[in-house]
Amino acid sequence: MPLINIAEIESKDLIEGYAAQFIHTSNATYSHVRAKAGSVLPTHAHPHEQVSYILDGEFELRVDGVPYRLVPGMVFVIPSNIQHAGLAITDC
């Protein structure tokens, strides 16, 4: 079992207001994202499941058009090929 230190993964600017570190496996992606308040994540989908954990702030996630308000301590899992988008309500 590999052990991964997220601090050792290079952060990448995704779009304006979003920077992320990713861990990819054959079936899933874990994302560690930092977002600035008001930043919009456009609707998209990908072929792998995505798992993310909210550390700080508030985030509105839309999955298949349904909004979910996420706060610290929440984990979300987006199945593969499902349309999703987001809005950073506060810095996250």
Straight-line distance from the first to the last Cα atom of the chain, in angstroms, rounded to the nearest whole number = 30
CA distance 68 to 24: 24
Residue 48 has a pLDDT of: 92
**The pLDDT of residue 84:** 96
Q: Is residue 6 part of a domain?
A: no
Q: What is the pLDDT of residue 34?
A: 94
Domain count, the chain: 1
Condensed to tens digits (0 to 9), the pLDDT of residues 20-73 reads 998 888 888 888 899 999 999 999 999 999 988 899 999 999 999 899 999 999
Domain of 31?
A: 11-88
In a domain, 2, yes or no: no
Q: How many CA atoms lie within 13 A of 20 on its CB side?
A: 18
pTM value?
0.85
Tell me the CA distances in angstroms from 13 to 2, 35, 69, 81, one per residue in order.
Answer: 26, 10, 23, 22
**Given this model, what pLDDT does residue 68 score?**
97
Residue 4 lies in a domain: no
pLDDT of residue 19: 95
Distance (Å, whole) CA 84 – CA 92:
18
Query: What CATH number corresponds to the domain at position 31?
Result: 2.60.120.10
User: Does a structural domain hold residue 50?
Assistant: yes
| Burial tier of 12 (Cβ tally within 10 Å: 0-12, 13-18, 19+) | exposed
Q: What is the pLDDT of residue 41?
A: 95
